[in-house]
Amino acid sequence: MRRNLTLFLLASSVVLASAADVIPAQSYNWKNVKIGGGGGFVPGIVFNPSQKGLAYARTDIGGAYKLNADDSWTALLDFADNSRWDYWGTDALATDPVDPSRLYLAVGMYTNFWDPNNGTILISKDQGKTFTPSPLPFKVGGNMPGRGLGERLAVDPHSNNVLYFGARSGHGLWRSTNFGATWTQVTSLPSAGTYAPDPSDSSGINSDKIGITWVTFDSTSGESGKATPRIFVGVADVGRENIYVSNDAGATWNAIPGFNNSWIAHKGVLSPKENALYVSESDGAGPNDGSIGGVFKYDIPSGTVTNISPVSGSEGLTVDLQKPGTVMVAALNCWWPDGQIWRSTDSGKTWSPVWAWEAYPVLNRYYTYDDSLAPWIGPDYTITTLDKQLGWWMEALVIDPFDSNHWLYGTGETIYGGHDLLKWDSTHNVTLKSLADGIEEDAVQSLISPPSGAHLLSAVGFLHTDLTKAPQTNFNPAWSTNVDLDFAGNLPSTLVRVGNGNGQIAISTDGGVTWPGTIGGASNANSGKIAISANGTTILWSSGNSGPLVSTDSSSFTSLSSIPSGAVIASDKQNNSVFYAAVGSKFYLSTDGAQSFAAVGLLGSSAAPVKIIVNPGVTGDVWVSTDKGLFHSTNLGTTFVAISGITQAWAIALGAPATSNGPPAIFTAASLQGTGGGIGYFRSDNNGKTWVKINDASHGFGSISSNPLTADPRIYGRVYIGTNGR
């Protein structure tokens, strides 16, 4: 993940029959708010070698995708709900070369304590339309270091009931002989990988062993119907040989000498017609480390290893199956002036780059850049200090096995590629296009839907003027992460946003088109929550690291002592003087424009309020979600009623009412008791007396505690959900 977005919007409405304590479901039409592609790291792209056009991509926090004929992608794991949020961490994928209808995904988010779940092999027999989970007895780390290595999951090309999976954390190599249904460890492999990027990392992220890095079958060995005898395996070991071969279908293994033992083998790619294995290596596991490395060709018949590196430090690796000797590699992390990709048509004897210096500072770029599908991604709009077109974290690089012109590669932000790759060899000028349409891989921390202007603004950094079209630009100034947004209730074109960097506050007075305003006095403060008074004069900032701060009339932020650090805050949307705050079980009210707060009502036995929202039409009509339920006050927070049946609530939002005189529709991400309830997303049109469930088995939205909601005040029934990865 690098930055943040994805949300969903709904449209239609059919309420099913309801009984007393039965929560009816409503069929909602969910769609991605379009961003045009990407937003985060795409560590793996795999083409099926047997079915033309069949390819999949995996992401580190947003699940897996299937490529469509029109270059767009379809998400496969949107069913993952709060109980299996870890499914969106996709550490490896394998598409069956014998039966292309079969797809396997190795899923799980973290191997440390952040993720309680063991990993899973998700098995599909219909190219990802449906999956059967096969639980693993260890964790899988789709968002862990080294996730661009691989693929560490592979299907035997001669006997597709046989699969191998290379585990992390020292669990070694595993084999299934029944199409992934059950797995046993291959204990004959001499190493499970001892390398960890930083053994002293107490979080358990960089101290975890990277493990088995890839499994590559030699399809030229053996015969159809019998397990392939020759198998290559890369292992994250440093200081000893770390590429192994078996010639007896995994019974025994031997290390192959001749590679660089100081480096980790990132990719092992077979070139069957050359009888060769190409290997790329780096001194880091990636994606963010790794500064030197190389590319090697292993000639299988003679057993010789040749260093064919174009320069040191290349990782993404692919071959053209139709053109033996055509090899491409991408730099893992070439940060300046841009990423780099090389192509060879003579098995790595000579290489040509995708750009070269004419003479500093002039670059010859041997490509035409096309970001029309996601204009915000381009160098004119992205974080300008990087000013990169080709990308970074470039590990997934593939040539379509049926089309030498079609290539794709994943970056830290998107997928690029094109359909005229052979021009590299003729005119040395290809089209490089952003091709991640349909891939949405951002973590959305806040959403607002003001009563006028664009219907949606997302903390990812987008003004969504048309939900069906990719945004043209990021908010300017662009920050790596916006964490909260608010609008002034009586002056809704006045907006404020806060970022996770020090002093990152910006103000817009044109509905989010431009953000020229800043406020001084808080240069060390960052993140947290932001609220702006109804007339836009006062900004209350419950910062993440410097406590509550307030600014009036653009004066510098000053500390506010009457509410504790970490308070959840909100501004009234009508009364210019009223602000609200909550900490623990205490609710606080300010009637003097956030100059001072007094504790008023109690939120039951809550320990952790999540969100305060305010009826835009009625001062003092407030809702608070907490770890102990959903609370409603109609008297400025003096007293609260706990909403019956809700035992815990996360995001909440108020939208347009069902009837013109009715209360606002309230949406909540909550745990609701009753048949048909559980943890999910619900709407009430009668102030929480009864609820309908609005998500379904195909729309789980992942981790519920990560997801912001906002509801449209102009369109009854429409709600936006931001997710952590989709």
Closest CB 534 distance from ligand NAG, rounded Å = 7
Q: How many residues bind ligand NAG (CB under 6 A)?
A: 23
For ligand NAG, which residue of 288, 352, 576, 644 counts as binding (CB under 6 A)? Answer: 576
Q: Judged by CB under 6 A, which of 118, 247, 288, 352 binds ligand NAG?
A: 118
Other CB atoms within 10 Å distance of the CB of residue 50? 15
Confirm if 175 and 164 have CB atoms less than 8 A apart.
yes
CA distance 456 to 462: 8
Q: Is 659 exposed, middle or buried (0-12, 13-18, 19+ CB in 10 A)?
A: exposed
535 binds ligand NAG (CB under 6 A): yes
Stretch that binds ligand NAG, among 95-103, 112-120, 376-384, 557-565 (CB under 6 A): 112-120
- Give which of 299, 325, 304, 149 is closest to 218, Cα–Cα: 299
Question: Can residue 638 be called a binding residue for ligand NAG (CB under 6 A)?
Answer: no
Dihedral pair phi/psi, residue 424, rounded to 5°: -55, -40
Out of 61, 568, 578, 613, the only residue in the binding site for ligand NAG (CB under 6 A) is 578
Cβ closer to ligand NAG: 78 or 338?
338
Among 306, 502, 591, 644, binds ligand NAG (CB under 6 A): 591
- The piece of 104-112, 259-267, 456-464, 693-701 that touches ligand NAG (CB under 6 A) is 259-267
Is residue 431 part of the contact set for ligand NAG (CB under 6 A)?
Answer: no
Rounded Cα distance between 195 and 708, Å, is: 38
Of 111-119, 313-321, 600-608, 702-710, which segment contacts ligand NAG by CB under 6 A?
111-119
Which CB sits closer to ligand NAG, 364 or 476?
A: 364
CA atoms within 13 A on the CB side of 31: 11
Does position 137 interact with ligand NAG (CB under 6 A)? The reply is yes
Q: How, if at all, do strands 505-508 and 430-434 pair?
A: unpaired
Does 429 participate in binding ligand NAG (rule CB under 6 A)? yes
User: Which has the closest alpha carbon to 148: 39, 286, 47?
Assistant: 286
Residue 57 has what DSSP assignment?
A: E
3-state secondary structure 573-626: CCCCCCEEEEECCEEEEECCCCCCCEEEEECCCCCCEEEEEECCCCCCCEEEEE
CB of 578 to ligand NAG, least distance (A): 5
Minimum Å gap between C-beta 280 and ligand NAG is 13
596 is an interface residue for ligand NAG by CB under 6 A: no
Kindly state the smallest distance separating residue 555's Cβ from ligand NAG, in Å: 13
- Stretch of 115-123, 454-462, 660-668, 682-690 contacting ligand NAG, by CB under 6 A: 115-123
593 belongs to the binding site for ligand NAG (CB under 6 A): yes
Are the CB atoms for 457 and 473 separated by under 8 Å? no
- If one counts every other C-beta atom within 10 angstroms of the C-beta of residue 45, the result is 25
- Beta strands 598-602; 609-614: pairing state: unpaired
Q: Which of 323, 365, 419, 423 binds ligand NAG (CB under 6 A)?
A: 365
CA–CA separation, 316 and 152 (whole Å) = 15
Q: Please tell me what DSSP assigns to residue 704.
A: G
Closest CA to 282 of 265, 267, 300, 303: 265
Q: What are phi and psi of 166, to 5 degrees?
A: -95, 115
Q: Give the nearest distance from C-beta 591 to ligand NAG in angstroms.
A: 4
- Contact between residue 122 and residue 198 where contact means Cβ atoms under 8 Å apart: no
Nearer to ligand NAG, 294 or 663 (CB): 294
Stretch that binds ligand NAG, among 116-124, 404-412, 667-675, 690-698 (CB under 6 A): 116-124
**To the nearest whole angstrom, how small is the minimum distance from the Cβ of residue 77 to ligand NAG?**
20
Interface pick for ligand NAG out of 59, 344, 414, 575 (rule CB under 6 A)? 575
For the purposes of burial, counting CB atoms within 10 Å of the CB of 126, is it exposed (0-12), middle (13-18) or buried (19 or more)? exposed
Smallest distance, ligand NAG to C-beta of residue 424, A = 11
263 near ligand NAG, rule: CB under 6 A: yes
Decide: is 588 part of the binding site for ligand NAG (CB under 6 A). no
Q: Which stretch binds ligand NAG (CB under 6 A): 114-122, 317-325, 393-401, 416-424?
A: 114-122
**In the range 155-214, which residues lie near ligand NAG by CB under 6 A?**
none
How far is 226 from 284, CA to CA, in rounded Å? 37
Question: Least separation, in Å, of the C-beta of 366 and ligand NAG?
Answer: 5
Measured over the CA atoms of residue 652, residue 655, residue 658 and residue 662, the dihedral's sign is: positive
**Residue 121 Cβ, how far from ligand NAG at the closest point, in Å?**
14
Around Cβ 515, how many Cβ atoms within 10 Å?
21
Distance of CA 483 to the CA centre of its chain: 16
| Interaction of residue 577 with ligand NAG, rule CB under 6 A | yes
**Nearest CB to ligand NAG, comparing residues 306 and 644:** 306
In the complex, minimum distance from the CB of residue 614 to ligand NAG, in angstroms, rounded to a whole number: 13
Selected from 294, 339, 348, 609, the binder of ligand NAG by CB under 6 A is 294
Instruction: Say how many residues make up the chain.
Output: 726
For ligand NAG, the closer of residues 334 and 656 by Cβ is 334
Of these, 368, 523, 556, 635, which contacts ligand NAG (CB under 6 A)?
368
Cβ atoms 614, 622 nearer than 8 A: yes
Residue 445 and residue 722 in contact, taking contact as beta carbons nearer than 8 Å: yes
The Cα 693–Cα 346 span in angstroms is: 60
Give the largest CA-CA distance in the chain: 83
Q: Does 571 bind ligand NAG (CB under 6 A)?
A: no
By beta-carbon proximity to ligand NAG, the closer residue of 368 and 452 is 368
Residue 636 CB, nearest distance to ligand NAG (Å)? 6
What's 191's DSSP letter?
A: -
- Beta carbon of residue 118, minimum distance to ligand NAG (angstroms, whole number): 4
Please pick, from the candidates 182, 262, 518, 545, the single residue that binds ligand NAG as defined by CB under 6 A.
262
| Residue 364 in the binding site for ligand NAG (CB under 6 A) | yes
Residue 319's DSSP bridge partners are: 327
Residue from 241, 283, 299, 696 touching ligand NAG (CB under 6 A): that is 283
Q: Are 684 and 15 in contact (CB under 8 A)?
A: no
Binder of ligand NAG out of 124, 134, 228, 260 (CB under 6 A)? 260
Piece of 149-157, 364-372, 701-709, 714-722 that binds ligand NAG (CB under 6 A): 364-372
CB of 103 to ligand NAG, least distance (A): 24
Q: Which stretch binds ligand NAG (CB under 6 A): 183-191, 234-242, 255-263, 314-322?
A: 255-263
Taking the complex as a whole, the smallest distance from the CB of residue 399 to ligand NAG amounts, in Å, to: 20
SS (H, E, C) 347-375: CCCCCEECEEEEECCEEEECEEEECCCCH
Nearer to ligand NAG among residue 417 and residue 655 (C-beta): 417
10 Å CB burial of residue 493 (0-12, 13-18, 19+) is: middle
CB of 92 to ligand NAG, least distance (A): 18
Residue ranges that bind ligand NAG, judged by CB under 6 A:
116-118, 137, 260, 262-263, 283, 292, 294, 364-366, 368, 429, 535, 537, 575-578, 591, 593
